[in-house]
Amino acid sequence: MATISEMDKEFKDYLKEINAMREAVTLIQWDLRTKIPKKGVEQRSEVVGYLSQKIHQMQVSDKMKAFIDALKDNTEDEIIQKSVLECLDTYEKNRKIPEDEYREYVMLQSKSEAVWQEARNKADFSLFQPYLEKLVAYNIKFANYWGYKENIYDALLNNYEPGVTVKTLDEVFPKVRKSLSELLQKIQQSSVKPNTDLLTAHFPKQAQEAFSVEILNRMGYDFDAGRLDDTIHPFEITINLNDVRITTRYDEQDFRMAVFGIIHEAGHALYEQNIDKRLEGTPLASGTSMGIHESQSLFWENFLGRNNVFWESHYDVFKKYAPQHFAQVDLHDFYQAVNEVKPSLIRIEADELTYPLHIMIRYELEKALINGEIEVKDLPQLWNEKMVEYLGVEPPTDKEGVLQDIHWAGGDFGYFPSYALGYMYAAQFKDKMSESIQIDEVIKSGDFAPIRKWLTENIHQYGKMKKPLDILKDVTGEGLNPDYLINYLTSKYREIYKL
């Protein structure tokens, strides 16, 4: 019989084998979303399905169960112990899904993303509808396999934000919505009207990229362990801790899409690049939850990138790359413009204040879908109705409406709430950070290393060694508290709009 130390080594080797296949799948997924020829999608999806099925088989194998049983209470290695517990959670969850259903679902995800892109380009939801119906059906089936206590949607939330439930969201979201809606109403009544026309000038993609790369370097994004590409829907993807890639979408008439998008995705990437390298090759070598992940991207994008001190100290750098038009744009007017509050159609283009309202719309729709209260065919109309109710705008076509996000095409139900939760976490983290770091002084210096170091020490390094709500409690001393976000937005926009 093998000793515990021998089992430790065999377990690590087994994890490396699983991780090698997962890395191959992740690289294929990056290719599917960026560079693949249209005709290559079908066969590549088959490959993803095949490899994912192999990973699934290894995760629920008798061999995995033997490792779990032997090591969960016996190993003295903390990383091994927590890896075993992570594998146990995956084992129990995936074992409930038949292999053939899992493979079919993974293939459906890949095909659905390609169909979604076509439907989005043609602004035709009907092309995507049959695929989305299958994705919803699978998610309902899987949620029932996994089980839940109060609401079936909780089973899906648990995949992205362990510890958070519908009950939590239905308590917090209405409070945030009420506060933000009241603030939005006051802003709309204000006589202060930022002029965003001054931001629109032809700004070549290459110049936008050059400015963004300079900011990425200041943030500490490691280009020796990453790369920047363009795609339809921006994302960050981790092949491994030494290959963490980001993408963006360029609009040569409005630099905000790419510049703020790149800062956002780099926030995700910094999290992954600064996970403790001792976790490499284990299931702990990734962000602990999508909410904590979003807290990092939104911290960098909003609390730093839209900060007045950032632009006071970086406006000259910006003008070095920007078209001559911006030489005549006053810094105060520029800052006001990039922080304009105006209800818009597209989530990733939304201002800081209305952004959470976009998330709440998606949460309510997908929660209703999973609970069988609405049907997929009714989504375009329901989406538009909620946009009018929450934001006072109505999408002219499906492209600007129900087809704008890739998440449902990837089967990511339960994901959207993480964006709003991450925003709340970020506000709490910033408040705590300010107790030990003069944040504005760091931003002025142009060297953001102290901020990155604080985030790494308190959040990044742990990967999945800690659960999301444990990180929040350990760092801030309290649980989820939306007041920090509400106070931040209220203070900032009272000043900008002279309320």
pLDDT of residue 463: 98
Residue stretches of the annotated binding site for Zn(2+): 264, 268, 294
Is residue 151 situated within a structural domain? no
Number of domains composing the chain: 2
Please report, rounded to a whole number, the percentage of residues in the chain having pLDDT higher than 70: 99
100 and 35 share one domain: yes
Mean per-residue pLDDT, 95-124: 92
On the question of pLDDT at 3 being above 80, the answer is no
pLDDT of residue 229: 95
191 and 332 share one domain: yes
69 and 195 share one domain: no
pLDDT band at 293 (very low <50, low <70, confident <90, very high): very high
Tally of CA atoms within 13 A in the half-sphere of 283 that contains its CB: 19
Q: Render pLDDT for 448-496 as a digit per residue (tens, 0 to 9).
A: 999 999 999 999 999 999 999 999 999 999 999 999 999 999 999 999 9
Is residue 147 situated within a structural domain? no
Is residue 131 situated within a structural domain? no
Task: Note the pTM of the prediction, 2 decimals.
Answer: 0.92
On the question of pLDDT at 74 being above 80, the answer is no
Mean pLDDT of the chain: 95
Nearest 5°: CA angle at 13, between 11 and 17? Answer: 115
Is residue 378 situated within a structural domain? yes
The CATH number that applies at residue 393 is: 1.10.1370.30
Is residue 247 situated within a structural domain? yes
Residue 265 annotated among the catalytic residues of the structure: yes
pLDDT of residue 36: 87
217 and 340 share one domain: yes
Q: Which residues have CB under 8 Å from 63's CB, separation 6+? A: 14
Q: Using the 3D structure, point to which of 61, 91, 123 is the last residue of a domain.
A: 123
pLDDT band at 45 (very low <50, low <70, confident <90, very high): confident
340 and 476 share one domain: yes
On the question of pLDDT at 292 being above 60, the answer is yes
Domain hosting residue 114, numbered range: 4-123
On the question of pLDDT at 189 being above 60, the answer is yes
On the question of pLDDT at 48 being above 80, the answer is yes
pLDDT of residue 1: 54
Q: How many CB atoms lie within 10 A of CB 320?
A: 11
Q: Using the 3D structure, point to which of 67, 99, 123 is the last residue of a domain.
A: 123
pLDDT of residue 7: 86
344 and 271 share one domain: yes
Is residue 152 situated within a structural domain? no
345 and 235 share one domain: yes
pLDDT of residue 76: 79
Nearest 5°: CA angle at 359, between 170 and 476? Answer: 70
Q: Using the 3D structure, point to which of 60, 89, 123 is the last residue of a domain.
A: 123
pLDDT band at 313 (very low <50, low <70, confident <90, very high): very high
Is residue 73 situated within a structural domain? yes
- The residue from 209, 265, 366, 400 that is catalytic is 265
114 and 203 share one domain: no
- φ, ψ at 466 (rounded to 5°): -120, 145
- Which of 97-111, 152-166, 447-461 is least confident? 97-111
361 and 216 share one domain: yes
On the question of pLDDT at 270 being above 90, the answer is yes
CB 292 within 8 A of CB 465: no
77 and 214 share one domain: no
Is residue 134 situated within a structural domain? no
Q: Render pLDDT for 401-455 as a digit per residue (tens, 0 to 9).
A: 999 999 999 999 999 999 999 999 999 999 999 999 999 999 999 999 999 999 9
Q: Would residue 265 be called left, alpha or beta, if left means φ above 0 and alpha means ψ between -120 and 50 degrees? A: alpha
301 and 184 share one domain: yes
